[in-house]
Amino acid sequence: MASQVNPFESLQSQIDDAAAYLDVGDDVIERLKHPERVLETNLTVELDDGSLERFKAFRSQFNGDRGPYKGGIRYHPDVSRDEVKALSGWMTYKTAIVDIPLGGGKGGIIIDPDDYSESELERLTRAFAKELTPLIGVDRDVPAPDVNTGQREMNWIKDTYETFENTTEPGVITGKAPDSGGSAGRVEATGRSTVLAAREAFDYLDKDLEGATVAVQGYGNAGSIAAELIDEMGATVVAASDSSGGIYNPDGFDPVAAKAHKAETGSVVGYEEAEEEITNEEVLTLDVDLLIPAALENAIDADLAEDVEADVISEAANGPLTPEADEVLEEKDVFVIPDILANAGGVTVSYFEWVQNRQRFYWDEERVNEELEAIIVDAFDALVETYEEHDLENPRTAAYVVAIQRVADAFDEAGSFP
């Protein structure tokens, strides 16, 4: 992480920035700055050598005014209570800006999964699922994948929940493998919305995506798919990175081959078509048309923002810019498509998965992608309308104005207990 800024404070400052443009009382804004509840639990797991290890885990249910809590589960050494609270808040405003009937939640376990075997990770995941079982449910809280979790973990959680509840309810979790009730297009969805949003921004700014240069920080699910799809749209991916470092070729390289190299060796570094090795900071400050941060929070702080040369940033990651970096980039006229819109494809296709699970009727990938595109385009249009109406300098503030109003309206319409 480039900066130690507390992501929960970042979330609250983003809400404050938007509050100035909203006709929502301070008391309601205060409610919308805090999670409704946070589970903190200690999981005791037997390791392969027979010893026991304790892991701390969290699930934050931030807001359920618009529907069941929704959001991923992250396995990472930097997971913390405040990080999970922030991520669950971002989920709340993400589901609101794309206008799907869900709230916001997020979970995490403090662990470096690379240090554990598959069977240890399965016991850990099932232990967490056991703790989550009373809290989650198809109409209550619906987890999904995030950093270092995927179909495998979602399948284990579904199976544990169904075993304890003596039911079959695939919609209790999304991001599953297709044979376990997963949706076509979910794996690609986060990268897809990141590039669809970039396409809309380029169009809005009258910039040509054909031949535009692109740098991608983080080459996991979100980053590698975004690179692949933006290449298909005619842009040129010139740089990419992961936790081991970055690669650069000013003439561009094949993002699919770079992904295959990473699958084989563990990193993009060393990929022969992009011989030049650069640091993660250099990837973030290259003179490119589009920058896609797709790793973790706080990748760009105020100092680094001074050196950013991209014209447009599409945030595949959650919270990659600190609020201070946002201010610097605003002054430099960099158009930032905020995370809550840019990466909302993941949760949108999770919503489609939940709908399909409930109907026990499955869509093909073409339908998933068409419905996703329509939702992202509508959300971008809503952002632009508010951006222009209030003559805002920062698209993030516009997104929060739209999203907070929707959550506040749902809260207001629910009324109160007599």
Ligand X SMILES: NC(=O)C1=CN([C@@H]2O[C@H](COP(=O)(O)OP(=O)(O)OC[C@H]3O[C@@H](n4cnc5c(N)ncnc54)[C@H](OP(=O)(O)O)[C@@H]3O)[C@@H](O)[C@H]2O)C=CC1
Ligand Y SMILES: O=C(O)CCC(=O)C(=O)O
Site residues for ligand Y per CB under 6 A: 70-72, 91, 94, 144, 146, 174-175, 318, 343, 346-347, 350
Q: Is 221 annotated as a binding residue?
A: yes
23-82 residues near ligand X, rule: CB under 6 A:
none
Whole-number minimum distance, CB 248 to ligand X, in Å?
14
Per rule CB under 6 A, is residue 221 in the interface with ligand X? yes
Q: Which among ligand Y, ligand X, none contacts residue 7 (Cβ within 5 to 8 A by kind)?
A: none
Which of 33, 85, 106, 158 does the annotation list as catalytic? 106
Per CB under 6 A, the list member of 197, 239, 288, 294 interacting with ligand X is 294
Per rule CB under 6 A, is residue 143 in the interface with ligand X? no
Q: Is 94 annotated as a binding residue?
A: yes
Per rule CB under 6 A, is residue 343 in the interface with ligand X? yes
Q: Is 85 annotated as a binding residue?
A: no
Q: Which among ligand X, ligand Y, none contacts residue 226 (Cβ within 5 to 8 A by kind)?
A: none
Q: Is 106 a catalytic residue?
A: yes
Whole-number minimum distance, CB 19 to ligand Y, in Å?
23
Question: Quick one: 145 or 395, whose CB is closer to ligand Y?
Answer: 145
Q: Is 190 annotated as a binding residue?
A: yes
Question: Quick one: 194 or 408, whose CB is closer to ligand X?
Answer: 194
Per rule CB under 6 A, is residue 322 in the interface with ligand X? no
Q: Which among ligand Y, ligand X, none contacts residue 174 (Cβ within 5 to 8 A by kind)?
A: ligand Y
For residue 120, CA distances in Å to 74, 117, 145, 287, 378 come to 16, 5, 18, 44, 43
Q: Is 348 annotated as a binding residue?
A: no
Question: Quick one: 67 or 218, whose CB is closer to ligand X?
Answer: 218
Per rule CB under 6 A, is residue 218 in the interface with ligand X? yes
Q: Which among ligand Y, ligand X, none contacts residue 217 (Cβ within 5 to 8 A by kind)?
A: ligand X
Summarize as ranges the residues that interact with ligand X (CB under 6 A): 145-148, 190, 217-223, 241-244, 267, 280, 294-296, 316-318, 343, 346
Write out the binding residues for substrate.
Answer: 70, 94, 350
